[in-house]
Structures are given as structure tokens and as C-alpha cells.
Amino acid sequence: MKQFTIKQNDAGARLDRFVAKAVPLLPPSLAQKYIRLKRIKVNGRGSARDARLALGDVIEMYVNDEFFEQPREENAFLRVPEPNLGIVFEDENILLLDKPSGVLCHSDGGFDYATLIARVQSYLYQKREWNPREENAFAPALCNRIDRNTQGIVIAAKNAEALRVMNEKIKTREIDKYYLAVTVGKPPKPSGRLENYLFKDAKKNQVFVSDRQTPGSQLAITEYRTLKSESGLSLLECRLLTGRTHQIRAQLANAGCAILGDGKYGSERENRKYGEKSQLLCSYRLRFSFETDAGALNYLKNSEFRLKIVDFVPKYFACTMDSVMI
């Protein structure tokens, strides 16, 4: 329990607003619940959330100590009352999650409790599978990332061994990742391989494609096949053989068939025409094609997971996910 005495500068403030300042990590919904259950009291008695505080009032808060910490990226999960995770698969070692378009995997600086990693940690904390106060250093972590405005499967590790193995398998390219993309126009061939060099301009957060290697550029390889073409749009399946920043987006644009909705590499005119404000790109399929020992995760070898729903497929093509997942 922590106790506060109201001073001149807080006199006249509403109880719920004082609580929000005094306990910065306590989610608003949980604060309202605690006021209602009288775990937050004014002068030893329950109070309404909109009650005005007076000089000298004593506020008692029966709230866990961790909620009184200063907000940091490491404790952002405490601000997440309902994680709302799209769980594709879960066991004692990993989570496979369907990250929605518009959600960041990690904070891009500062305190952000709307990120996917904050939701994951909140979920495991609420399930009592993880408590940072009982750990020396480990925290649940994401093993791969995808762009903010890209939907798709993200792997989260629940323990240090799973994180180590997954990071190693991603590094050695023993996890196959497949994407669906809607492009404006068709690629040069119905199927093929895009092999270029990408140079990243960190200031612009943009990559540039070249057929020749230049200082600072990296080799990028993507395999693709056309699944459908209708009304000037194409549905492609892309398989990443390397994992460069904006790889699929930049390479398809360079091939003359930019992804619909892509504001960085696509056509502004086409994006406006269809009313799309984020790229129609989804990491929809994942295969654990382990070729070497995976330790505690050997049981996942040759397992494959797919999303059952990708909204832009039926929106633009006369087909279902079942018909494209061949």
C-alpha cells in the first residue's frame, strides 16, 4: 500500500486523474476497477472516480509496486490491460502471432505500450508464465520483425532456449517465410527470382535497388509466383531467401509491379484510386525447415503454419484463402 497526502497543487483534481499521474503504469480500465472495488480510498473510505480532492485528503492505494515505476520500454506491458493477440499457434516455448497492419513490433523510441512485444509480455505476465521480478535478465522477445504496415506471422519466444534456437535458425535461413502481395500490374514473368542489391538510406528509411553491388549495398533475393491476375491487379506469393529492409516492396517496384497501397515505393495515383493507405502485403505462411539440430525445438521440424484470413485476397480477387494456399 502507498499513501499520498493531497497538497495545494493537486487540490481540486479529480480522483481518477490524480491516480493517472501518481501511478503512470496503471491502465485506466484497471484504475477505474480499483476505485470501484475500494482498493483506492480517500480518507479511508471508497470514493467516486470523479470526486474532487481537497487539500489534506489522504489517498490510500492498494496497488502492486511495479505500477508505480517510471514508464520505460521494458515495463510498457503493464499498461496493456487486454493484449488482444491473434494467436496462430502456442506451446510452452513459442507463440506464433498474426500481427495486424498498423502495429509496431517494437517501440520506435520512447514509451509505447501499443507495440506487439508489449502485448506479448502482458499476455504472458497475466497468464503468470513470466514475471520480470523473478528473472535475472530474460524477457519474452520477438524473433523476427515485419514492417508496421505489413500484416503477418511473427514468432515470439517464451524462454531463453527458444529465443536462442529461433535466432540461430533465422540466421542460417532454416525458416521459410512466404508473403502474399497485391501488385499493380504483372511481373515480367508469371514466376521467377528477383536478385538485386539494396542500399539503405537510414535517414529516409528507404532502400534503393541496383543490379550491381555498390559500397554499402547488400544482396537481396526473392522468389515469386503469380497466383491470380484480375482487372489490372495481381496476387503474388513471394518467398524470402534473404531478409533485407523493405526487400519485397522495393524489388517488386523495381520490377514494374509495385505493391498496391505502398506509399513509399508504389504509385500514389493507384493508391488513391483504390483507397489503400498501407501496403497490401502479408507474411501469411511459415515453415520450420530445420536442417540442423534444433535442441528443445526439434519437434517443430517440417511444421508449417498459415493464416486462414487475409482480408485483401477476397477483396480484390474472386477466390478464397483455401484456393490460393496450394
Residue 225 pLDDT:
96
Q: In the chain, how many domains are there?
A: 3
| Torsion angles phi and psi, residue 268, rounded to 5 | -65, -35
pLDDT tens for each residue of 263-288: 999 999 999 999 999 999 999 999 99
**Non-local CB neighbours of 109 within 8 Å, separated by 6+ positions:** none
Whether residue 196 contacts residue 310, with contact meaning beta carbons closer than 8 Å, is answered with: no
- Provide the pLDDT confidence category of residue 324 given band limits of 50, 70 and 90: low
Q: What is the CATH number of the domain that holds 40?
A: 3.10.290.10
* Mean pLDDT, the chain, whole residue set: 92
Residue 110 pLDDT:
65
Residue 262, C-alpha cell as written in the block? 505502398
Residue 96 pLDDT:
98
Asked whether residue 84 falls in the same domain as residue 57, the answer is: no
Region 292-298 average pLDDT: 95
Asked whether residue 279 falls in the same domain as residue 241, the answer is: yes
Asked whether residue 64 falls in the same domain as residue 142, the answer is: no
Q: Taking Cα atoms as reference points, which of 288, 264, 257 lies closest to residue 192?
A: 257
Region 226-235 average pLDDT: 94
What span, in angstroms and rounded, lies between the C-alpha atoms of 184 and 270?
Answer: 8
Q: Could you say which of 68, 98, 115 is where a domain stops? A: 68
Which segment of 113-117, 258-262, 318-322 scores lowest on mean pLDDT? 318-322
Q: Could you say which of 34, 68, 102 is where a domain stops? A: 68
Residue 226, CA atoms < 13 Å, CB-side half-sphere: 17
What span, in angstroms and rounded, lies between the C-alpha atoms of 191 and 187?
Answer: 8
Q: Is 326 exposed, middle or buried (0-12, 13-18, 19+ CB in 10 A)?
A: exposed
Asked whether residue 234 falls in the same domain as residue 282, the answer is: yes
Question: Does the structure show a pLDDT above 60 at 326?
Answer: no
Asked whether residue 297 falls in the same domain as residue 181, the answer is: yes
- Provide the pLDDT confidence category of residue 322 given band limits of 50, 70 and 90: confident
Asked whether residue 131 falls in the same domain as residue 264, the answer is: no
pLDDT tens for each residue of 138-182: 999 999 999 999 999 999 999 999 999 999 999 999 999 999 999
From residue 97, alpha-carbon distances to 82, 83, 169, 178, 274 in Å are 15, 12, 18, 15, 28
Question: Does the structure show a pLDDT above 80 at 95?
Answer: yes
Q: Is the dihedral of CA 303, 304, 307, 308 positive or negative?
A: negative
pLDDT tens for each residue of 4-55: 999 999 999 999 999 988 888 888 888 999 999 999 999 999 999 999 999 9
pLDDT tens for each residue of 181-216: 999 999 999 999 999 999 998 888 899 999 999 899
Residue 73 pLDDT:
79
CB count, 10 Å around CB of 11?
A: 13
Parent domain of 213: 175-324
What span, in angstroms and rounded, lies between the C-alpha atoms of 21 and 18?
Answer: 5
Percent of the chain exceeding pLDDT 90 equals 79
Asked whether residue 302 falls in the same domain as residue 195, the answer is: yes
Q: Could you say which of 154, 171, 188 is where a domain stops? A: 171
What span, in angstroms and rounded, lies between the C-alpha atoms of 247 and 276?
Answer: 20
Residue 72 pLDDT:
79
Q: What is the CATH number of the domain that holds 225?
A: 3.30.2350.10
Asked whether residue 183 falls in the same domain as residue 158, the answer is: no
Whether residue 71 contacts residue 20, with contact meaning beta carbons closer than 8 Å, is answered with: no
Asked whether residue 135 falls in the same domain as residue 252, the answer is: no
Asked whether residue 206 falls in the same domain as residue 160, the answer is: no
DSSP E strands: which ranges in the chain?
Answer: 2-5, 40-42, 58-61, 87-90, 94-99, 141-142, 151-157, 175-184, 191-201, 206-210, 218-230, 233-240, 281-288, 304-306
Task: Produce one character per residue of 205-242: b if its CB has 16 or more CB atoms within 10 Å, e if not.
Answer: eebebeeeeeeebeebebebebbbbeeebbbbbbbbbe
pTM attached to this predicted model: 0.83
Residue 140, C-alpha cell as written in the block? 519474452
Asked whether residue 52 falls in the same domain as residue 156, the answer is: no
Asked whether residue 319 falls in the same domain as residue 245, the answer is: yes
